A and B are shown apart, each in its own frame.
Chain A
């Protein structure tokens, strides 16, 4: 197994699926300004997807490109984490999923700036400003929703609790992750996880939200290709045209 390739697919697939989920909300946000902000994030993530999958395609070397990787792999070959597959739900669910993702993503990117793989370091360099902004935005919204009205507080707490068990997968390192750490390509799990927990605790405190149990059982398997039931439907929609018109140029 090419561990480097696996690692790139994991990053690319996270951005791919999360961007896809946010795209579903086009024109349906709770405020016009919010619509623009959401679409911005979706667009940023899509740009990151293309960088990761573009590099992955080069490494795979078998004539694949960013599109064959995005549109022609079935769920069994996707490497996204379970968190990004969770449905949009209500806006608290959407923003909590985003906040958990952004927090991990920010600290990961900080770590990847130092990667011994120059292409990965370059991707991190190009993404860090956006990711920083995403985290500021989602964290800020969590605070506002947590400390808004009783209704927004309840919805946000419910989302925090429901999505918590998907937040830990990214810190559960397997052989691929450990190989990356060993090669100096990616940061180790423990400091990332500590930073994540600290930041979430800080935001939740300000948001008057109860922090879920850091030692709770975490769902896992997405990185290894064992996904939730949601992913199949996401792919069916996303990949339809390429599957229905094989070989077509668009």
Chain B
């Protein structure tokens, strides 16, 4: 999702008998729904997986500011601009909450950022797509944040305390994001033919990447199975994707737009929508760095970081000077 394809580093899921006593006690706590906290003993693989998952999530929020930042200076009304600014600010905040949670696991934020800037850390595929019109602001809030909510609500119950609590805070703010996106779409669809065409075009471009956000089918994935046992992944990728489709298609119909999937059908027997094949080669290419905007997104973050070095150093130097002065005075 925001953290896609998280590696656990394990080749198979351990059975209870294969675990050490410590690991068994740990697993028992998880099974009992007890939260694991920062200072608790945890298997190395659990710690590493969480660092990857949480940091990928954090990176996604930070990079996620950029596609919307691209349109904030062109927002068509003062009210829309205010709302979009507030949303982008929330995203920065979410990134910070998540870096905080990651740091409880013994890694520093600067280390995590270094990995991101070096192209070694992942972030959600979705943010490597360009925002080409104002309607994209609607589509992103509605589809991308909407998908994020589906993923994040279960994570509020995940086993790692700091991550679960960060998710609770994030979820409170996220539903405003989805609604404001849909509100934009409604305005456009009620507007002129050009605006309606803008809305349809945005949906056409963002629909499939949003479905891809949930990641490929993971029925066979060892990583997913282990993460499920550890309760840091609570539903399968397919389950979450299905939830998103089922929930969103009626919303598309209400807008009077067309789902860009000729194979989409409602199956009265199952009560779910069946949908067309996803082009997973596109997804893997985007993750590999071949998406439309990977280079620009990363370059923007690296530039902000490098250009900001003198600022960060100056503030550090000033603080050190004040500390030195206090020590001399004392």
Contact = CB atoms under 8 A, between A and B. Distances in A.
A–B contact at 8 Å CB threshold (below) = yes
Interface of A: 20, 23-24, 26-36, 39-40, 42-43, 46-47, 49-50, 53, 66-67, 70-71, 90-91, 143-145, 147-149, 151-152, 155, 237-238, 240-242, 245, 248-250
Contacts of B188: 250
Interface string B290-317: 0000000000110111011111111101
Nearest to A241: B76
B81 interface: yes
B105 interface: no
Interface in B49-88: 62, 65-66, 68-69, 72-82, 85-86, 88
B77 A67 contact: yes
Contacts of A240: 74
B276 interface: no
A35 B308 CA distance: 11
Contacts of B79: 50
Given A27-B88, A147-B318, A148-B314, A248 B72 contact: no
B118 interface: no
B95 interface: yes
A70 B74 CA distance: 12
Q: Label chain B's interface by main secondary structure.
A: helix
A98 to B, nearest CB: 14
Contacts of A90: 307
Contacts, number: 139
B69 A30 contact: no
Contact of B315 (A20, A27, A148): A148
A36 B76 contact: no
Counting chain B CB atoms within 10 Å of each CB, which of A26, A43, A152 scores highest?
A: A26
A248 B88 CA distance: 25
B259 interface: no
A27 B311 contact: no
B215 to A, nearest CB: 25
B15 interface: no
B307 A26 contact: no
Contacts of B95: 32
A46 B76 CA distance: 14
Contacts of B281: none
Given A71-B76, A237-B74, A43 B82 contact: yes
A34 B68 CA distance: 18
Interface stretch (B162-170, B171-179, B189-197): B189-197
B93 interface: yes
B258 interface: no
A41 to B, nearest CB: 10
